[in-house]
Structure 1
Amino acid sequence: MGRRIAVIGGGVAGCAVAWAAARRGAELRLYEASDALGGVARQGDHRSLCGLAAIDAAQPELLEPDLSAPWLAQVATGAPQRRGRVWLWPSHGQALAAGLDRLCAHAGVKIQLGSSLKSLGRHGQGYVLNLSDGSWLADDLVDASGGGEVAAMLDLAQRSAGQWGALRGTIALAPDLVTAWCDPQQRPALLRRLYRALGKEGAQPPALSLEPADQGLWQLGVDAASWSEVALAKWQVAAQALEARVVQGPQEFVSRDGGGHAGELSLDQLFAQEQRGLCWLAWPYEWHDAGGVRWRWPSRAFYGLPPTVLQPYADHPQFYAIGRGMAVSPAAAAALRVTGSAWHIGAALGQRLGNQGERKTGAQILRVSQ
């Protein structure tokens, strides 16, 4: 019988590791607290699939075709497009969630939505998971939750949040405002209303963004020099100027980005990786300030990832951390958080876990729900 692997978090990285490991015979349980797969990529943080081709590539040739081609076939909604120095594949939240569900189901992953982790403990070299809908004994545990809950339950070191100066929140808009924003002729008047509300008439305006999110909602963004109460007030003023109903404010967005696993890999060290290691990656470091989005590009067209990064604790040899909570520095985590990188890392780890062979934690040792 294949190894029993539990994945906490049904975002892109979590689905990737579950899909790849299950295809190699492992028994997979994927636990997601929300009602759909896709994580933050489904919620509007990512509106395209990126990091899949080399930087400055003349053609959209996949860096890791064995890992990413099956995924793209399920989640991309059109042909790739060149944007500056990179290639992007179009997608949207519903297509991403549906494609991930198909891939995992076809591979034999047992998906449990609406399943929140209540407690977590060691059992030999494995782990006992107690969830809102039952318990399970796993040989390997993959934390793809992106937060600090799992680390806290196991009393593991957590890194600081390392927040961007990017305030993001989910809002609901009246139909007439949606029409105005989507109409190129009406949008300038709506932007002027926002800038007047922010007190920036005739001055350098803050960087604003308004993008469609999931389930008919919108993601409102205001970029500031740093996170502060003043910056938060600007976001709230912008939401009020749009007469929006706030569904999830910036405070909730901030809380989900904190508490990743502590790690030492810096951005410079990441960008200097000449060996493939776990997989190839290709994306710059992105940050936000009052002028909008800034970029720091690696000197190479692509770089590798040391496999040891995903196993940050010597006394937890069967524990792995991927996704936004990966055990690296905050800057390195920001460079690795795009959809393509998340899929490459998750799928490459899943291949390794699926190839480990037979399970070692016997279910007969502990009576748990199946």
Structure 2
Amino acid sequence: MDFSLTEEQTLLQDSVDKFVRDNCDVERRRSLNQTELGYDAEVWQQFAELGWLCVPFTEEQGGFGGSAADVMVMSEALSKGLVREPFLTTVVTCGGFLRLGGSAEQQAAHIPAIIEGAKQWAFAFAEDAAGYNLAAVSATAEASDGGFRLNGAKTAVLNGHHSDYLIVSARTSGEARDKAGVSLFIVDASQAGISKQAFNTVDGSRAANIEFKDVEVAADQLLGELGNALPLMEAVIDDSIIAMGGEALGAMQLLLNDTVEYTKTREQFGQPISNFQALQHRMADMYLKVEETRSLLFNAAIQADEGSADKAKACAALKVKIAEAGRFVSQEAIQLHGGIGMTDELNISHHFKRLLVLGMLYGDEDYYVSRYTALSA
């Protein structure tokens, strides 16, 4: 099987790589960590002008008609520059909900604004004590005056602090953990009854805890099928995992490269520490973890683009590897750099924190081992 990039993917990769080299470094990320927004709005507009925000959408939706592999390539290239702009949350995840589950009217109303960089989105699904169970939804949307009345709270909503629109999971029927009875709604974040409490995540990006109190939701704000949102959520999250895999792979590859270079310059006992066999073995183990991630990422992207029935299982396996390999590679990079690896001035610590977030987002290693086992039964 040919795993080489297509001409279009190579051009996309080169375009992102050039932008990253010219504009993105540790100092930029450190400065953005101190801002209320958490990313650069002007750079987001540059993404739109370069056509990057249209990659996942079909041509009929005004997009590039890109594949899962295209998104993977772009995510990997962006990760090398510690890019903070919310491509994953707004374009891949929320854009995925609109692309796969939105009505023609919803797509026409919202996708162009995402492609133009005019609107930000966030997926509000997590709740206290829910764990990673997407069906563990206590927020409710009760029928009211031809629409719904939304009540409840969502926690750790990535990009929720500044989003224009929220995609919110709420229970329209059934008990708190029933798989049936969960629905999705497109909610204008400026609607009355919505309150936000913003905070910084462990990697410095911004998120919010959001409360909904008697928020009036019109019938046409329902996204997808009433009471049957779980399959759509799982499909979109699987696509997001492929993008996350690209980001994790780029981060791990950079950590490996930086560690190898550092050991060539750091000396002990009159010679570079890269000469020590014990350290060579550790870097070889890092290399193996990177390549294992690459293989599982390619497999997941191929399964997704082919519409394979094994896509969900491939994405579950990839998510396990993102958590396990990301933890191993980043910890080894810090240890082989010594104390300097934990400093804010080096990109090592920033990639370590981002890999930690990617390993936990939408489900940790244990959760996806269980999901993979269930899908393989």
Question: TM-score band, normalised by the shorter chain?
Answer: under 0.3
More helix by share: 2
TM-score by length of 1: 0.28
TM-score by length of 2: 0.27
